[in-house]
Amino acid sequence: MSRLTYLLKKITSVLFSLSLIFITLSVQANSSFELATSTQTIVVDGQLDEAVWKNATKMQLSFENRPGEGTPAPVKTEVYLFENGQSLNIAIKAFDPHPEKIRASLRDRDELWDDDNVGIVIDTFNDKRSGYEFFVNALGAQADMRMKDSNGWDEDDSWDAIWDSAGRITKYGYVVEMSIPFNALRFPKRDGSLTWNIALMRNYPRDTRTQFANYKRDRNIKCNICQFDQLIGFKHIKQGNNFQLTPTLTISRADKKPNVPGAWDNGKVKADPGVDVRWGISQDMVLNATLNPDFSQVEADAGQLDINNTFSLFFPEKRPFFLDGASYFDTSSFNLVHTRNIAEPDYGLKLTGKSNDHSYGLMVTNDKDTAFLIPGNQGSSIATLGEKSNVMIARYKKDVGERSNVGVLITHRDATDYNNTVTSIDGDYWFSQADSIRYQMSYSDSENPDTVQDDFDLDKNQQGNAISLGYAHKTRDYNIRVDYRNVSKDFRADLGFFTKVDYQKIIIGGRRKWFGDKDDVLTQWGYFGDWDKTYDQDGNLLEEEYELHGNIQGPMQLYSNFGAVTRKRLYNDVYFDESQFLAFAKVTPLSGLTASAFTRFGTQIDFANTQLGHIFAIVPNIRWDVNQHLSIRASHDLTLLNVQGQRLFTANQSDVRFSYQFDMRSKLKLVLQYTDIERTLSLYDPEDDLDKNSKSFATQLIYSYKINPQTLFFVGYSDGGFQDDDLTRLERDKRTIFTKFSYAWQI
């Protein structure tokens, strides 16, 4: 061993030891609370009239952690907690000197973030890496999430639990009551007391959005959970009956027009029964199973313009079976599991769990409509097989030390003369409080049927590698990062969202930020940017890019970032120089009204004709809570591209959503989507066979009644249509009416 290597190892060891000491001291400085225990149950109504609250564990939210940094909270918040063996019960009194300014509306699940709200974050495994979040607004609307804190605070609101809440506005502020069953949580099985890390939080949206908590946050410590207070107790808690059976029934009829204009071809009424099972085998292991599932989406995706774009669009997963425990299949750098690729399964089986430092997930299902991405370095396409495939996904991850981890993922999909298998190793290694390395190495092996070989000019067999390696230095005021990626030409991840291959890329970037004092107009400001360079696997330059952005936060909950990007880019064997200015701003000028807009303009490639053009795009959005019942969400995307001094295309897309919440359970929602694209055909190749004017629309009307995320009723109608150069007006060509029932039996 060289002396230099020896010295480097010693320095790293000392830095790592100092970081552990620093974390330990910070944890020891936090407060510990003994959790009160009672056999009494409560009525969750926001009244707090049960005697048990008088003997509950009491805490206060004494600190402002945003935008302040552990400064005294300007308003008072009291919290009371106790457990009764079946659930954790929480009451929060949020005092307000001006109750008339409280912002709250009747909300659907996970939509309360513009309101006054309070909640709790719970690390049940005491591993300071992950936890559960439960929040309630001033009227009792719920939000729940899983969160991770291994490399920054990362939240997943797709997770849903069954729990109770209520809220009411009072003359002194508002009060919230929550009851979280232990069978909604996962925690270690252990004799004696448990220690949970907890944070109680209050979001206070006024001119500035402020957050209060029971702990004093230090931004120099990158770990958030290790700064939480500790709640000790839970000696006799039980998960109780943790077997949930949810039968479902979906009835629908879909009509279409074979010729437009023309007569309707009315579809048959389909009745699809199904069943979902969720079994908590133990406190830390859950089995999900489904037969003949209804995997149709209830609500339409947000509109996205797909013009002058060579890569496939991303749409998020929304289906309950896939969402429960989805985070167990995440990897550090690559999106190798995107379950929306599994379009139409007959069944599904999934096991997820965590035991001490070990977490794991296994999923087995099939797909009657097999499709997957064929990636390239300048675009991607979609291949369809028209037959059933089998799917298996397995994930294992081990926590190492205070914050590091290492994991393995295997995905497999196969059909007749087709298979795709991906094996991956990934992880994070923290060698000081500020310094970390993130890595992932993946290998794929694919066999392509004749149709895929012919359609995409592929070999029968493909093998490829994908490597990602990144270093980051993160502090309170700045961070620096260096990332390297190398993806071979034949790498494929058919169960993931992996659109680009055949490249090597290096990125060097960083960020600097400042925090305002109490009386400053701006609460935070800074700048960030990077340089990156990309080659294909033959050594040809694909892109070299420089970008620099600034950002500010201030009054009226203002957030804005703005900057410029310039790049040299290869497309279709021609190099182009692109330069663009980009800006985004979001502001809440009035209670219940939020407006935002994104814009970019400059030079951009016209991919259809391999030439440089001038682009202008603007995307305004508005969110308006008209009153406690009615809300409106509207967005519009306008994109213009000029070439050779003429307008190549003008694209408009609108997405408007009206929602009327009768009460916390009952809601009516209307979705309107419209797209209008106008082209100058003389500027296109005639062989492209494009329409001068193309329009499309989609509407959806849904009534829903939800007792909880699994016990619900839907009835709805949707339709859509288009207009091209052969039609004189918009014509409908599809329509669907549907209803769904499901009921969760907890046995």
pLDDT in tens, 623-634: 999 999 999 999
Is 58 part of any domain? yes
Cβ atoms of residues 461 and 329 within 8 Å: no
Q: Print the domain residue range for 363.
A: 309-456
Distance CA 106, CA 178 (A): 17
Pair (314, 229) in one structural domain: no
Is 15 part of any domain? no
pLDDT band at 21 (very low <50, low <70, confident <90, very high): very low
Cβ atoms of residues 228 and 61 within 8 Å: no
Cβ atoms of residues 134 and 623 within 8 Å: no
Compute the average pLDDT of residues 219-228. Answer: 88
Q: Which of 13, 38, 30 is nearest to 126 (CA)?
A: 30
Give the total number of structural domains in the chain.
2
Distance CA 668, CA 662 (A): 8
**Three-class secondary structure of residue 316 per DSSP:** coil
Distance CA 212, CA 73 (A): 6
pLDDT over 80 at 296, yes or no: no
Q: How far apart are the first and last CA of the chain?
A: 62
* Contact partners, residue 98, CB within 8 Å, separation at least 6: none
Pair (168, 77) in one structural domain: yes
| Category of 644 on φ-ψ map: left (φ > 0), alpha (ψ -120 to 50) or beta | left
**Three-class secondary structure of residue 601 per DSSP:** strand
Segment 66-109, tens digit of pLDDT = 999 999 999 999 999 999 999 999 999 999 999 999 999 999 99
**Three-class secondary structure of residue 682 per DSSP:** helix
pLDDT for res 322: 87
pLDDT for res 297: 56
Segment 570-622, tens digit of pLDDT = 999 999 999 999 999 999 999 999 999 999 999 999 999 999 999 999 999 99
pLDDT over 70 at 701, yes or no: yes
Cβ atoms of residues 187 and 198 within 8 Å: no
Cβ atoms of residues 77 and 224 within 8 Å: no
By CB atoms closer than 10 A (0-12, 13-18, 19+), residue 5 is exposed
Query: Could you give the percent of the chain with pLDDT greater than 70?
Result: 95
Distance CA 427, CA 437 (A): 8
Pair (334, 447) in one structural domain: yes
pLDDT for res 550: 98
* Contact partners, residue 221, CB within 8 Å, separation at least 6: 22, 23, 26, 227, 433
Distance CA 267, CA 216 (A): 61
Question: Which of these three, 174, 200, 233, is where a domain ends?
Answer: 233
DSSP symbols for 477-516? SEEEEEEEEEE-TT---TTS---B-SEEEEEEEEEEEEE-
pLDDT for res 303: 72
pLDDT band at 29 (very low <50, low <70, confident <90, very high): low
Pair (329, 190) in one structural domain: no
Distance CA 463, CA 488 (A): 9
Compute the average pLDDT of residues 358-380. Answer: 94
Please report, for the domain that includes residue 111, its CATH number. Answer: 2.60.40.1190
pLDDT over 70 at 28, yes or no: no
pLDDT band at 736 (very low <50, low <70, confident <90, very high): very high
With tokens 């379009």, the residue in question is 343
pLDDT for res 17: 44
Cβ atoms of residues 79 and 59 within 8 Å: yes
Q: How far is CA 609 from the centre of its chain?
A: 35
Pair (229, 315) in one structural domain: no
In 494-637, where does DSSP find H-type helix? none
pLDDT over 90 at 27, yes or no: no
Structure tokens at 472: 């980051």
DSSP tag of 139: T
Is 99 part of any domain? yes
Residue 362, amino acid: L
Cβ atoms of residues 603 and 583 within 8 Å: no
Segment 139-198, tens digit of pLDDT = 999 999 989 887 778 888 878 889 999 999 999 999 999 999 998 888 887 778 999 999
pLDDT band at 687 (very low <50, low <70, confident <90, very high): confident
Question: Which of these three, 178, 202, 233, is where a domain ends?
Answer: 233
Cβ atoms of residues 104 and 115 within 8 Å: yes
pLDDT over 60 at 16, yes or no: no
Cβ atoms of residues 385 and 451 within 8 Å: yes
pLDDT for res 78: 98
Pair (77, 223) in one structural domain: yes
Strand partners, 335: none
Q: Which of 614, 616, 574, 621 is nearest to 594 (CA)?
A: 621
What count of other Cβ atoms lies within 10 Å of the Cβ of residue 165? 24
Distance CA 642, CA 133 (A): 48
- Cα–Cα distance list, 676 to 45, 413, 636 (Å): 49, 38, 11
Distance CA 232, CA 197 (A): 9
Distance CA 696, CA 674 (A): 6
Half-sphere exposure of 435 (CA within 13 A, CB side): 8
Pair (203, 60) in one structural domain: yes
Q: Are strands 229-233 and 32-34 parallel, antiparallel or unpaired?
A: parallel
635 against 155, higher pLDDT:
635
DSSP run (H or E) holding 65: strand 63-66
Is 204 part of any domain? yes
Segment 404-421, tens digit of pLDDT = 999 999 999 999 999 999
Compute the average pLDDT of residues 698-712. Answer: 93
Distance CA 196, CA 125 (A): 7
* Contact partners, residue 24, CB within 8 Å, separation at least 6: none
- Cα–Cα distance list, 220 to 63, 67, 68 (Å): 17, 15, 14
Question: Which of these three, 194, 213, 233, is where a domain ends?
Answer: 233
Pair (81, 222) in one structural domain: yes
Three-class secondary structure assignment of 176-242: EEEEEEHHHCCCCCCCCCEEEEEEEEEEEECCCEEEEECCCCCCCCCCCHHHCEEEEECCCCCCCCC
pLDDT over 90 at 223, yes or no: no
Pair (229, 325) in one structural domain: no
324 against 131, higher pLDDT:
131
Across the chain, mean pLDDT equals 91
Distance CA 118, CA 75 (A): 13
Distance CA 537, CA 534 (A): 10
Three-class secondary structure assignment of 684-727: CCHHHCCCCEEEEEEEEEEEEEECCCCCEEEEEEEEEEEECCCC
Q: Which of 207, 300, 209 is nearest to 556 (CA)?
A: 207
Q: Which of 476, 400, 470, 486 is nearest to 436 (CA)?
A: 470
Is 314 part of any domain? yes
pLDDT over 80 at 469, yes or no: yes
Is 293 part of any domain? no
Is 641 part of any domain? no
pLDDT for res 241: 59
Cβ atoms of residues 170 and 138 within 8 Å: no
Query: Could you give the percent of the chain with pLDDT greater than 90?
Result: 79
Q: Which of 136, 98, 132, 97 is nearest to 116 (CA)?
A: 136
pLDDT for res 316: 83
pLDDT for res 151: 72
Q: Which of 64, 201, 57 is nearest to 133 (CA)?
A: 201
pLDDT band at 723 (very low <50, low <70, confident <90, very high): very high
pLDDT for res 530: 98
DSSP tag of 390: E
Q: 686 φ, ψ to 5°?
A: -60, -25
Pair (217, 72) in one structural domain: yes
Pair (220, 79) in one structural domain: yes
Is 674 part of any domain? no
Give the global pTM: 0.88
Pair (71, 160) in one structural domain: yes
**Three-class secondary structure of residue 733 per DSSP:** strand
356 against 202, higher pLDDT:
202
Please give the angle made by the CA atoms of 229, 233 and 236, to the nearest 5 degrees: 150
